[in-house]
Amino acid sequence: MYQYIGPGIEPWLADLKPVQVKELKEAFEALEKDGKGKGTLKAERYTRAQARELESAAEAGGDIDEMSAAAAGKHTD
């Protein structure tokens, strides 16, 4: 979940025990250090509409990374 929403997950951790929160935050910091933080996880499954969009863009010769980002609802600038 952290790779999708990043630090926005922290409010939901408030109900956990302090030791659990500490361990999770350490794990999040390790992900950030390894370059696997927020926004790095790519979707492996798409809705039918997204899959059709990827197929049509692939046939048109588009960039695969840009197509998957567009299908996931992200904007690449």
Q: State the pLDDT at residue 18.
A: 93
H runs (alpha helix) in the chain: 2-5, 18-33, 48-59, 64-71
Task: Count CB atoms within 10 A of the CB of residue 19.
Answer: 8
Burial of 57 (0-12, 13-18, 19+ CB in 10 A): middle
pLDDT confidence of residue 77: 43
Identify the three-state secondary structure at position 8: helix
Q: What predicted TM-score, i.e. pTM, was given to this entire model?
A: 0.47
- What pLDDT score was predicted for residue 76? 45
Each residue's pLDDT, cut to its tens digit, for the chain (77 residues) gives 777 777 788 888 888 999 999 998 898 888 888 777 766 666 677 788 888 888 888 888 755 555 555 555 554 44
Phi, psi of 47 (to 5 degrees): -70, 165
